[in-house]
Homo-oligomer: A and B are copies of this chain.
Amino acid sequence: VISLVENRQGDYKKILGELFPKTGKAFLLGITGPPGAGKSTVTDRLIAKLRAQSKRVAVVAIDPSSPFTGGAILGDRIRMQAHVGDDGVYIRSLGTRGKHGGLSHAAKDIATVLDAAGFDWVIIETAGVGQTELDILRLAHGIAVVLVPESGDGIQMMKAGLMEIADVFAVNKCDRPESDKIVREIMNTIGIGESLAGAQGGRWVVPVVKTEALHDKGIDELLKAIVDYYQYAVQSGHLDRKRKTFIRDEIIEILIEDLRYKSLSFFSTAPGQALIENVFLKKISPLEAATKVK
């Protein structure tokens, strides 16, 4: 079913409609951060902790790849092979082979399938550098941003839009020098002290957790911070509001995908080609032409 959904094939729309009533139980956790921060290792360790609690965990790993060749670079995924053979773990890599905007839509639909399949946690892991990745993360209920001491450039993090989307920060590889510096930098940016992190009088103060995923250090604390956020989001009504915004955005995306498909079909016909030719010859403007697309 996931392959059908990913490739927009067969009865996938009908299947999604049938699966939809079974959804709404999974927690969708986004994990992001700059390349090399150790996101896959952190994810791997979180899976182990969640499995120890008998939670079923699915991972959708979004691979950075060229939008032109459609080829995904799968290197990082290999590290997660530790969980191969465990029925309670499902890992799926997604390349950017989709059309413009198609990847975030496919990721959303795959999360829907995994939710319906009964996974307790669906982790969406992606390198948070571009608009596509941020679009994908919009479907998450909570977002953990993984940084490393070397990524301690406040401006760079702001550029990547990571500061605003984080519900929990993990400073990974914290055995390295400078790790306290980045923790302080993040806290300064958020504007709070460590003791205040967590749910505080109806609002959420983003915790900053130090981890060393390779040696399994700090992962219990990270998972606790994430679970705390989850509970806060449920109790404050934040999660429901988020879900409704997602629903709105998803409906709009469905409409856009449909419009794009129909328009491309039209432009491959003779009247469509003639319309482009008329704009090219400046007989009509693109805006006028838009009113004539069938």
Contacts and interface: CB of A to CB of B under 8 A. Distances in A.
A73 interface: yes
Contacts of A258: 290
Nearest to A263: B252
Interface string A13-31: 1001100110110000000
B101 A69 contact: no
A78 interface: no
A289 interface: yes
A285 B101 contact: no
Contact of A287 (B13, B69, B244, B252): B13
Contact of A73 (B158, B163, B240): B158
Contacts of A277: 244
A264 B23 CA distance: 25
A276 interface: yes
A21 B247 contact: no
A159 B255 contact: no
A94 to B, nearest CB: 14
Nearest to A128: B130
A161 interface: yes
Contacts of A248: 267, 276
A261 B276 CA distance: 24
A65 B259 contact: no
Contact of A282 (B20, B96, B130, B158): B20
A7 interface: no
A100 interface: yes
Interface string A238-257: 00100110011011101110
Chain B CB within 10 Å, residue with most, of A16, A21, A156, A286: A286
A190 interface: no
24 contacts: A17-B288, A20-B286, A21-B282, A35-B156, A64-B159, A66-B158, A66-B161, A67-B161, A68-B161, A68-B165, A69-B164, A73-B155, A100-B131, A100-B135, A101-B101, A129-B129, A131-B131, A244-B280, A247-B279, A251-B286, A251-B289, A251-B290, A254-B290, A255-B290
Given A20-B285, A251-B263, A251-B267, 17 more contacts: A24-B282, A66-B159, A66-B164, A67-B131, A68-B164, A69-B164, A73-B158, A100-B135, A129-B130, A130-B132, A132-B132, A243-B280, A244-B276, A247-B289, A251-B289, A255-B259, A256-B256
